[in-house]
Amino acid sequence: MARFSKLHVLNAMVDTGMVPVFYHPDAEVAKRVLKACYEGGVRAFEFTNRGDFAQDVFSALSKYAAEECPQLIIGIGSIVDAPTAALYIQLGANFVVGPSFNPEIAKVCNRRLIPYTPGCGSVSEISFAQEAGCDLCKIFPAGSVGGPSFVSNLKAPMPWSLIMATGAVEPTEENLSAWFKAGVTCVGMGSKLFPKEAIASGNGQVITSLCKEALSIIKKYRKI
């Protein structure tokens, strides 16, 4: 397992501008997908805690990343309670993401200097999360809480905010340009990066190409 500093983790998420969000119950499939993303330029990858024994898959993936993708930072998503966050930190998670904000998770992560990116749906939630030490906040589900206009309106009175948009994000110029023009720090992207046919056939090149294209668009439009 590779352990990176909090500053290194946050910088990777900011500099790359995109965090793929992925789950699969088969560790070998997850390894192939992770490798394909890495070859496409991805340097921060979120595996989600969404199935039985997901911790076993994550453990294998964390060890694989340390060996095969040494510059990749792997984190865990879909975390809603502090004990689960602690478990995944022990298994090598370098960042923790959740669909909601839980102050108890913030305490666990702060103690270990692990970035915690909670899901927030309002300006007040983002403010409370920032008070708890969350440098990067996720708006989720991004398409439902107001889309890019929510981000631009939020950043007018709170320009210091670092925002990751997840949900309703697609690897197209029209979509990504809108998010980054609005001022997001990075985006989390799931199913649109991982076509079912590519996963089923083991065609990692499709995923690599989609990552390269998305990162190219992000580089063009981001303000940071």
Residue 219: the pLDDT is 96
Residue 3: the pLDDT is 84
C-beta separation of 88 from 79 below 8 A: yes
Domain ranges in the chain? 6-221
The owner of tokens 């095969």 is 68
Residue 199: the pLDDT is 95
Task: Quickly name the fold that domain 6-221 has.
Answer: TIM Barrel (3.20.20)
Positive or negative, the CA dihedral 167, 168, 172, 173 is negative
Which tens digits make up the pLDDT trace of 176-205?
A: 999 999 999 999 999 999 999 999 999 999
Q: How far apart are CA 35 and CA 53, in angstroms?
A: 21
Token pair of 32, please? 């192939």
Residue 224: the pLDDT is 54
Q: How far apart are CA 152 and CA 37, in angstroms?
A: 29
Residue 22: the pLDDT is 98
C-beta separation of 169 from 150 below 8 A: no
C-beta separation of 191 from 170 below 8 A: no
Which amino acid makes up residue 187?
Answer: V
Nearest of 33, 35, 92, 40 to residue 68 by alpha carbon: 35
User: Would you call the peptide bond into 141 cis, given omega within 30 degrees of 0 as the criterion?
Assistant: yes
Residue 1: the pLDDT is 63
C-beta separation of 184 from 9 below 8 A: no
Residues of the chain with pLDDT under 70: 1, 224
